[in-house]
Structure 1
């Protein structure tokens, strides 16, 4: 699934999508995600602009050959592509979820991100900048910061392809577009795949991650979950909090949520999980490892990161998030229009508004909405946690559909009370 989001300035973002798909058919979708008034007010109050104004340059990640630059405009139809070199390049293959089309054939969107190994320039300066904002650094922490920042600094690779062994059939992915990402809707060989089954596919002659494909039939429950401050501590209300939890600290699950998700998985007969986040796709290995450690397998849906400096990372998480999340949910709905989705999010950003907007578009698609109220944060208690905020966000959504909770234990009875899908 492709949800790549290119960020062009501190206040606007341009959608292109890696996960779910960025396009209908073979064309990229381009859409402008403007910062809303309430996002602007919140960012100013939390001093995001002050933190972002002197963040380091990342423009070196867009320095690639003239041929790659020119031919990348051709997108998936580019005949002048180059195969990745395992000695100089690396590729991330994103886990995905297979669905059945109207003819019963299994299909999935295979997304790949292409990079040049260890090509990030001035990484030490970028690390120093982040360390300075976080403070209290030691050598081990700085090494952690460097490892997690490397994918944000490494040069991307447009106009490249990678070969995939898909159930014994060699299949080409790509070529990648100007964002260094390719997205291919592929039929999966075989007709006897079952709901809940997982297969693993590997790249051929490439330094690449493997891709796990989970098969999900057309009916049953499904879970769409936010990540930051819903299932993982991110401190999205604070710019330095985001930097610290993302680049310096060991990832920490929200208390009680891993156990709740395992209960959901068991109680609802192993539903497919979609983890929808405004975090950039450059954090995929970091977030994938976190998910594998604490939560059920599922597809990570992340935003594109085509910004020129590290300030874009903070903006990614705090600007245009409602339009971005709704666009991704619309794509998931295209794949699973008859599934009954349970949407889980939190109060830090626009999850209530996003889920409510999607409910109003497809009321039969969303069975329940659960919003974690993030407490103990002054920036949130002053407005985002008010009852009036939730009542306004969920206008037109039946009261029995949505619930605001503070502790994961509140949801067990609600999950248990759900009827058959």
Structure 2
């Protein structure tokens, strides 16, 4: 997909953060606004050069970009899924996020604040974990920079990045003889960046798009304290029974491609990728392209505009794989039912099943509204009843997955 103009990105950003009724229920019930107002006031993270500042508006067309310096900068290269265009050529979206190493000057202050809020102020080991996970939210982003990668024997440039320090390039992949489900690894050239995986997926067959937070990973998105604790202090915990379910889906549906969708910012990519690699099938991770440099913005990412954001990302995947049949999996804490219902109404032949995990037992969650049967009926208006299902125990889904028809 071609990079957006600055005005288009600004418009999309405003749309993403329009508060829906579900957002309002979540945020008001747990007093998110009051909690965010008490957060540390951080220094400006956008402390890049005047040249980078001005030219970053040009995006990939910026002729004044620089390559990253491996001594001072670091880059995250995101795993992706390759698709075939109309003439059979393989393409993929290559996403890179650029940062300045160890540039977050408020780290100790924020670590102390988080540690106190979650009750770990005297735990030095916990503070070290919190500092490691917070660092990417505090480091300065790096616009107007690019990175080279080795791609099947060729040197390819990614970027330069735009205003948010992120580049997105839809590029052709050399070669044609790739098998469905084949995975290759690409490496950076002269850059402090990790290798990344490219998974090849043919145009037809089953596919899975899954929410992350409180669907496959305990995040407690209904609670600001819960979000901080599960994200920065605790070892990430899978939802009971979900790793086994996803393995069953992978085996039963002949290794379908997986996408993992979260309203978290790209700053959390290494943390979430490691979690996914530990418990779930490999796949492309879709995160918000807003590199928030403070905790209040991080909480807003997870709790505002999630419906519009997720519908937008579903539309993007549909453009790449319009002939695939998707299983979409989410939960009741955020706007997954509304987003998936809207996606089905737009593309009824594209979505073959919708599974929503009913989340219970979270103190800061208004379960009477979030799990109200009328909410689900409204969210899935116009969606056939045999397409969507609300579950509490993942075991409920095994028979449903087994009953899905084969796709030629």
State the TM bucket, normalised to the shorter chain.
over 0.9
1:77 aligns with 2:69: no
After superposition, the C-alpha distances for 1:353-393 in whole angstroms (9 at most, x for unaligned) are: 00000000000000000000001125232210111111111
Among residues 42, 46, 69, which one is paired with 1:62 in the alignment?
46
User: How do 1:234-383 and structure 2 match up within 5 A?
Assistant: 234-307=219-292, 309-378=294-363, 379-383=365-369
User: How do 1:97-112 and structure 2 match up within 5 A?
Assistant: 97-112=81-96
Distance in 2 separating the partners of 1:237 and 1:25: 34
Distance in 1 separating the partners of 2:42 and 2:259: 30
More displaced, 134-143 or 80-89?
134-143
Distance in 2 separating the partners of 1:259 and 1:25: 42
TM-score, scaled relative to structure 2: 0.96
Deviation at 1:59, TM superposition (A): 4.3
1:154 aligns with 139
Does the aligned pair in 2 maintain the 1:59–1:308 contact within 8 Å? no
Among residues 202, 223, 226, which one is paired with 2:211 in the alignment?
226
State the SS of the aligned residue for 2:260. Answer: strand
Distance in 2 separating the partners of 1:402 and 1:80: 50
Distance in 2 separating the partners of 1:163 and 1:45: 47
TM-score, scaled relative to structure 1: 0.93
Q: Give the total of aligned pairs.
A: 401
After superposition, the C-alpha distances for 1:27-81 in whole angstroms (9 at most, x for unaligned) are: 9644122112442243111111121002123443211011110111111100001
Distance in 2 separating the partners of 1:44 and 1:91: 37
Among residues 390, 395, 400, which one is paired with 1:409 in the alignment?
395
Does the aligned pair in 1 maintain the 2:26–2:334 contact within 8 Å? no
Distance in 2 separating the partners of 1:342 and 1:22: 27
1:212 aligns with 2:197: yes
Distance in 1 separating the partners of 2:362 and 2:199: 37
After superposition, the C-alpha distances for 1:83-132 in whole angstroms (9 at most, x for unaligned) are: 11111110000000000000000000001001111111120001111112
Does the aligned pair in 1 maintain the 2:215–2:331 contact within 8 Å? yes
Which consecutive unaligned segments of at least 5 residues does structure 2 have? none
State the SS of the aligned residue for 2:44. Answer: helix
Does the aligned pair in 1 maintain the 2:3–2:60 contact within 8 Å? no
Does the aligned pair in 2 maintain the 1:60–1:120 contact within 8 Å? no
Distance in 2 separating the partners of 1:165 and 1:304: 24
1:420 aligns with 2:403: no
Does the aligned pair in 1 maintain the 2:241–2:395 contact within 8 Å? yes
1:177 aligns with 162
Question: Residues 361, 24 of structure 1: CA spacing in aligned structure 2 closer, same or farther, 3 A cutoff?
Answer: farther
1:387 aligns with 2:382: no
Does the aligned pair in 1 maintain the 2:314–2:343 contact within 8 Å? yes
Distance in 1 separating the partners of 2:89 and 2:7: 22
1:52 aligns with 36
More displaced, 361-370 or 120-129?
120-129
RMSD: 1.5
Distance in 2 separating the partners of 1:25 and 1:127: 36
Distance in 2 separating the partners of 1:100 and 1:149: 38
Which consecutive unaligned segments of at least 5 residues does structure 1 have? 1-20
Deviation at 1:177, TM superposition (A): 0.6
Distance in 2 separating the partners of 1:27 and 1:337: 28
Does the aligned pair in 2 maintain the 1:60–1:153 contact within 8 Å? no
